[in-house]
A and B are shown apart, each in its own frame.
Chain A
Amino acid sequence: MKKRFALDIALVLGLGIATSVAMGWMSWRSDTSAVAAQFHDEVAERAGLLDRQLVLDLGVLHSLKVLYDTSEDVSRQDFSTVAMGILKRHPNVQALEWIPKVPHEERPAYETSARSDGYRDFQITQRASQGQMIQAEVRPHYFPVYFVEPLVGNELAVGFDLASSSTRLHALVDSQNSGRLLATASITLVQETGDQKGFLGLLPIYDGAPTSATERTRLLRGFVLGVFRIGDIFQSASPRKLPGDRGHVAISLIDESAGAGNAVLHRQSLTDDSRLVHQFSYRKALKDVAGRHWAIVATPTGDYISAQRSWAPLIALLVGLTFTALLSVYLRLISTRTAQVERLVERRTNELQEANTALEKYTIDLEHSNRELQSFAHVASHDLQEPLRKVQMFGDRLMERCSGELSEQGQDYVARMHSATSRMQTLIDDLLAFSRVTTKNQSLEVVDLARIAKLVLSDLETRIEQTGGTVHVNDLPTIHADRTQMHQLLQNLIGNALKFHRPGQPPIVKVHGSILNGKGGNGVQDMDGQAVFELTVQDNGIGFEEKYRDRIFTIFQRLHGRSAYEGTGVGLAVCRKVAERHGGDISVNSVPSQGSTFVVRLPISHSAEEEM
């Protein structure tokens, strides 16, 4: 029993833990997707902000272009005024420049003009291989930095010929031919003092509105140029609320149109890159950035992910495990309880068995005692009667043979002795009858009570005649009973009714039988709902006081002296025994000097009903 429960509990425990872990894992996975989705949203938001910032910053070149669209000859002063205004509003713009297209023949004029504007050492320059600025080589066209705002910090750039740098020239040509605002690939700015990368935005200015590349080359006046430091733009497009600022996300800005090795424009890295979780890396392309394709790639750290995660997976696991634990404890309790109940049942069974054994022993004892009683009946019938008979007989002989020799007193003694012996004879006979009712096995058969009553009346004929009595017998049925005992019952009840008549009052005895069909009809209580045969024997005799109603059914109990009414006090005890042996009872109602009514009630078995 115990083993079976242990197995059950282990099974529940195993299944419970497995289910809990599975639930936790599934919840973990869905949570991971949710965290990733949220991270992507944040990265996309950052990309959007960067897009907007770039449009805003690059847009300043269009504002500057208006200056050249409206005037054929823009003075240094004009440029300075407009550029200063723009720079004030766009702090990310490092510098604004005017790059005129200078044919070689006009080079001296430009240099002279600039010097007259205040740049005393102005000349068109290029960067030497060692890094220092030198006079530019002779080329068909120059694209020098002619106006620059602010000047402070950009002094080195003034006069620098952009055509001398292949990266810059490339952008210049592309911009000139497309007529569009173009950005260069990332460059190290001439003005750069830190390690930031920068780029240049170029917007071509033409005379009129050329439509083809050839026309554009011919009509090109120059470029308005913006110098942008990528780091600054990136910073100003970084919202405070985004996680990048918390140091938990590494972000790179990449120029994907720079060919192999995708040039990294900017990197916001962390102090400890080992904590990055690369499987969460997310790339988001920016919108077209002045002809270039940029993208940001963000990678979160484990800390970032942990912070975003919900408690759901852990809760699912804990709830599952708790439930499993509780279920196991509950099962354990049940198994303990079951074991207790089983032990209790076992104990009760043992007790019951002991009780049964005791009962068996008791039954055996009872049978033994019944046998003893039977042998007593035998002893009473034979061995006790034998000497009694002798006393009677020798008494007879004494009277017959020696009466002449006996005095009158002697004869009286013998007569009294004789009377005593016949009384003892009756007593023994009655006792025998009583003990037979108790010990003899009943043989139930169909008994016609009316016939029995007739036999009884013929036995009692002498007494009826002597007393001048009448006996009315009505409605006695046929029932299933012991014939001899029914005879005794009627004999004793009717005999008593005749015997105990009032002096000078002839007895009238009414014997009546009826069948009560259970269910407590007629105001009479039924016996467990069974049909009942009720026998009533009513007389108009001497009756007795209520207080004796139980006593009269006890053996040898008499209410009268022998001289008044003969008898041994066994008759009614026999009647009660007969009623009880048939599963019924006997009761009496009596009023002194008016009469008694005896009622015997016997349950009728089903087999008996069928026979009737």
Chain B
Amino acid sequence: MGDTGNSFTLLMAEDDPDDRLLIKEAWEENQFANELHFVEDGEELMEYLQHRDKYANGVDALRPGLILLDLNMPKKDGREALKEIKTDPNLRQIPVVVFTTSSAEEDIVRSYDTGANSYITKPVTFKALIEVLRILRTYWLETVELPPQKA
């Protein structure tokens, strides 16, 4: 059992407002106290992680315990962002779960090759979405041991 408790932040990179709404509702449905933060594309994701631009003060940008990453996004897509995270020595320890509509074999293989920790195809029903989020939280927050968080 991890003791990080409520300090665990879930960071979700998702460009689709509908999906953001559904995920937010599903998260709330689960009554999780942990913070869920959204960024809308790969560019913003990297700004958040590297405390740049609008995240420069660092206060609003807590280091996430888990990143949910959509692959198809504007500006910088999930594939590029994944590559940058996994080649950055400060960031590569953060678990990244690809969360996308694509079930193409090519995307799956490439994601794992680049260092993704899991690959999940977005569920079709809301019920399934709630379930997937629950399992994710349980697994990454309570089941696995993660390296101690850096500052």
- Shortest CB distance B106–A (Å): 10
B72 at the interface (CB under 8 A from A): yes
A381 at the interface (CB under 8 A from B): yes
Contact mask B53-87 → A, CB, 8 Å, 1/0?
Answer: 00000000000000000001000000000000000
A425 at the interface (CB under 8 A from B): yes
Q: Across the two chains, which residue of chain A brings its CB closest to B102? A: A382
Q: Across the two chains, which residue of chain A brings its CB closest to B125? A: A396
Question: Given that A381-B104, A382-B72, A397-B25 are contacting pairs, would A389 and B124 also be in contact in the complex, using a CB cutoff of 8 Å?
Answer: yes
Interface size of B as a range:
10 to 19
Q: Contact at A396–B101, with CB atoms within 8 Å?
A: no
Chain A CB within 10 A, most for which of B19, B25, B101: B101
Cβ–Cβ < 8 Å partners of B127 in chain A: 396
Interface size on A, residues (CB 8 A): 14
B-side binding surface: helix, strand, loop or mixed?
Answer: loop
Q: Contact at B18–A400, with CB atoms within 8 Å?
A: no
Bound-complex Cα distance A382 to B72 (A): 9
B142 at the interface (CB under 8 A from A): no
Q: Across the two chains, which residue of chain B brings its CB closest to A397? A: B126
- Shortest CB distance B129–A (Å): 7
B16 at the interface (CB under 8 A from A): yes
Bound-complex Cα distance A382 to B18 (A): 15
- Shortest CB distance B5–A (Å): 30
- Shortest CB distance B120–A (Å): 14
Cβ–Cβ < 8 Å partners of B51 in chain A: none
Chain B CB within 10 A, most for which of A381, A385, A389, A394: A389
Question: Given that A385-B101, A397-B25 are contacting pairs, would A390 and B18 also be in contact in the complex, using a CB cutoff of 8 Å?
Answer: yes
Bound-complex Cα distance A382 to B100 (A): 9
Bound-complex Cα distance A378 to B18 (A): 21
- Shortest CB distance B95–A (Å): 25
Question: Given that A385-B101, A386-B101 are contacting pairs, would A392 and B25 also be in contact in the complex, using a CB cutoff of 8 Å?
Answer: no
A355 at the interface (CB under 8 A from B): no
Chain A CB within 10 A, most for which of B22, B127, B129: B22
Cβ–Cβ < 8 Å partners of B101 in chain A: 382, 385-386, 389
Q: Contact at B124–A425, with CB atoms within 8 Å?
A: yes
Within 8 A of B (CB), among A374-403: 378, 381-382, 385-386, 389-390, 392-394, 396-397, 400
B122 at the interface (CB under 8 A from A): yes
- Shortest CB distance A612–B (Å): 28
A residues within 8 Å of B by Cβ? 378, 381-382, 385-386, 389-390, 392-394, 396-397, 400, 425
A-B pairs, 6 with minimum CB distance: A396-B126, A393-B126, A390-B18, A396-B125, A389-B124, A386-B101
B residues within 8 Å of A by Cβ? 16, 18-19, 22, 25, 72, 101-104, 122, 124-127, 129
